[in-house]
Amino acid sequence: MPPLPLLQACLNGNRPARSHPALPSTPAELAREARASVAAGAGALHLHPRDAESRESLAPEVVAAALSAVRSACPGVPIGISSGFWILADVEAQLAAARAWTVRPDFVSVNWHEPHAIPLAETLLVLNIGIEAGVWTAEAALAFLSWPGRDRALRVLVELPDREDVLSDAADILALLDRAGAAAPRLLHGEGRSAWPLLREAGRRGLASRIGLEDTLTLPDGTFARDNADLVRAARAVLASPG
């Protein structure tokens, strides 16, 4: 049987700190959840560093503490962070934050519908940090495809929202990328109600995907997940299932 495509664990996202008992916030909590998720089958990690008040942050000391703890717990596993514009809603401040990182992530997700996308992506390339280009809509995909650096992206995240009727939208965006000959691998994922349908669709298409408490708090049968590792185990079982 060929190896399964990449499964990334998204550990916390922008959820409120008390939205799940296992949702990690501190470096130690992120390290705990990361270690268990990798043991359960995750091949990469995505996280949102948070400060002492559990606020998402791109500050160098906050990013360094989170990355150092997770790297110590999961040596050799690629680790990425978010650059969501809600974290630091200032283009120049985002660029300055990235340049100031003393401990750098392996990759950063950059949402292509946000105003910092291209300048941040180009800054990250100079810093030798990988780019996950987040495309939530066909319009965002077209904007990414028009960027001269598109083939230098580590991967394209095709991200669909919390609703049930997402498979046709996913197919349209993926077809758009394919027709344009975009070289970067695709990672397909959803959130809330779309998380498990899109993970199954990723498995059907042989694409990378992701799962974790950022994207959903429930298992495929609707029961509450214990932690990130619980979701990763369930995702691996779904991806390994025939059909």
CA angle 42, 44, 45 (to 5 degrees): 100
Neighbours of 99 (CB within 10 A): 12
pLDDT score recorded for residue 70: 98
Check the CA dihedral 198-199-202-208 and report its sign.
positive
Residue 138 lies in a domain: yes
pLDDT of residue 150: 97
Parent domain of 23: 7-240
- Apex 100 CA angle, 131 and 107, nearest 5: 20
In a domain, 101, yes or no: yes
* 2 domain-assigned: no
Q: Where residue 204 sits, what CATH number does that domain have?
A: 3.20.20.70
The residue assigned the tokens 């809509």 is: 137
Say which amino acid occupies 108: V
Instruction: Flag whether 127 is in a domain.
Output: yes
Whether 234 is in a domain gets the answer: yes
Give how many domains the chain has, as a whole number: 1
pLDDT at position 1: 53
Token readout for 119 is 């300048």
pLDDT score at 131: 98
For residue 218, being part of any structural domain is answered with: yes
pLDDT tens for the 243 residues of the chain, in order: 567 899 999 999 999 988 999 999 999 999 999 999 999 999 999 999 999 999 999 999 999 999 999 999 999 999 999 999 999 999 999 999 999 999 999 999 999 999 999 999 999 999 999 999 999 999 999 999 999 999 999 999 999 999 989 999 999 999 999 999 999 999 999 999 999 999 999 999 999 999 999 999 999 999 999 999 999 999 999 999 866
Domain contains 1: no
Separation between Cα atoms, residue 51 and residue 212, nearest integer Å: 21
